Structure 1
Amino acid sequence: MAIKHTLVTAVAVVAALALIGAGLTGAGFGISGDTGVCVPAPTAGAPSAPASSGLDDEQTGNATTIAATGARLGVPQRGWVIAVATAMQESALRNLAGGDRDSVGLFQQRPSMGWGTAAQLRDPRYAATAFYQRLVKVAGWEQMPLTVAAQAVQRSAYPDAYAKHESAATALVNTIAAGAMVPVCPPVGAQGWVAPVTAPVVSGFRTADRPGHQGVDLGAARGTLIRAAAAGRVVQAVCNVSPPEHGCDQDGSPAVGGCGWYADLDHGAGVITRYCHMAARPLVHIGQHVPAGAPLGHVGSSGNSSGPHLHFEVHLRGDAGPSGAVPPLEWMAAHGAPLGQT
């Protein structure tokens, strides 16, 4: 049986389960159904990840089981990558009957350390569930480097060994997720930029009546998907509101301060973009690398806002404060992704 056939068959399970996980990941203020992940459109003639990975049917099937288990449990896709990379290191994605001392299974978990019986740990679904249950109890695991998060669960004698599998695990999980109805990123311009929403400009940059307005407001409807304007790393994904007790899980008002739920992306070369007033917690986490067009969250009205819209900023020189802000309309137009389109 070809690896491709194994992956397609197994992915049917992930497809249904990923939708459950997606609803959990995007939950909040009536918004659900997106996972914060999209995969780049395939390049013509480019091989798929499994075909070029050197994995056989058993290894690909085990990776898919790990991902499917994470989807069923509602674990964000970052957790799937951590789990698959861990199994790559511990067992080369093989369901081993033994190992060091009493270690068994995909994750080389030990019955003597409270993971379960040897028979249970030879069940890939049980072993993956046990891994995820411990992972999600690690405070801040989504913001940790992969090797740190994996080590917090595994307590390996070789704590740095997991890092070398991150790229391969990410490619494999992205392929599995793509088969599981994770959306393809939208087309981007030749310079790598895309408008974060398609909506008219309803308030400009540093206007006469709003000289402290460091971005532009795009009048998209509540629930509209907000996309990364370019590839980058998430450096903020938090609630910023004053007074703090107002919170971000309800609409703000002109009397409330702050960006509400918002995300900042670092695109390199000192360029930072900001996305404010989301309807719920961002779909991405700090430290996550996202492609252009990746879902970041949904349009809302949290924080200093009088109605649903996206407040979008562009900053240069690595300065995320007012002195680094530049007019977004000019910047995006110069980079092939004009704003204000309807």
Structure 2
Amino acid sequence: MTLLGEKDGAGQPRRPRRVALLIAATVTLALLCCGGGTAAFFFDGLSTDDQALSTYGCGAAGPLPPNGKLPRVGAYGETQIRNAAIIVNVGAKMKVPPKGWVIAVATAMQESALNNLGDLGNRNDHDSLGLFQQRPSQGWGTPKQVRDPEYASRKFYEKLLKVPGWERLALTDAAQKVQRSAFPDAYAKHESDAAEIVNLLADGAARATGGNATLACATMGDIAASGWTAPVKAGVVSGFRTPERPDHQGVDLGASRGDDILAAAAGVVIVSRCDNDSQPPYRCDRDGSPSTPGCGWYVDIMHADNVMTRYCHMLYRPKVRVGQTVAAGQPIGIVGTSGHSSGPHLHFEVHLNGDRSSSGATNPLPFMRDKGAPVGTGA
């Protein structure tokens, strides 16, 4: 899918990885999709990488105890990961759902880089101490208490649980409700790393849904602890950069006309428009065709960590406007077939590093699987 006015990549499209099948039997389908003509592809167009099982579960095995040797994760050494393990274990004991663990770890990453900080003298922010930089003067506890990682974690969770609807909030908003930081947007940049650490320490709990007593892998329509969800309940009908369609920068999900399209994660709408309006006689108030250019009615959403998602071929004008903040799972449009399309479906893209061009596109299937919000598995 190439939007009007955009070059496909930086010249030639990047060639796809070689497709291999996990199953012995293959199904070759002929499909008119996204205006690509009759495209034959293997079962769901999925590669080995797309279908590979994650090394993580979904949290059911429970978190690791904070004692014993723990690995380094990126910039975080064993002592810092042990502090993260304490945060996760306290949350598990309090039966806080795993999304709370991710929020708590991300908060401690921002406040102290997962270090149990003492008094830093002139560098101290007032009387802030410990993993969460809690202030004794503001009622968090005595200096000794807030420097106890278990106590500090428990106090964080107690306040988080009092925030109405915290599980539906974006991570940075939930953290800010607890912390009242002078930098309310700072927590968002730690979201991916916090989910990775929680996955490592708790058997993939950032991919889970449900309360601590009923952890299970998120399924279609669930919002995982990572904050992501599938945009529609539908199987894949055309894959990402297949040999037949190397310039296909997303996946086509075979949803039905009129189905809701959901925001895959919390974020800010950066595009909401008709991709054909500058190319008469093409318009978005009618069904498209293989000869119609563009994405039709479409939406781009910018999420934490400069991840962008794109939703194409909507039936009507999108339900959201540019600049609007949306929650994970919020309806943003209706499945249709406007633009470069020959039948109702959702064309879904994921872009990294804030790059809206095809150069920034990544395969949505492994990306969403790793977020605990798999797409393409049907209703």
TM-score if structure 1 supplies the norm length?
0.46
> Which structure has greater helix proportion?
1
TM-score if structure 2 supplies the norm length?
0.42
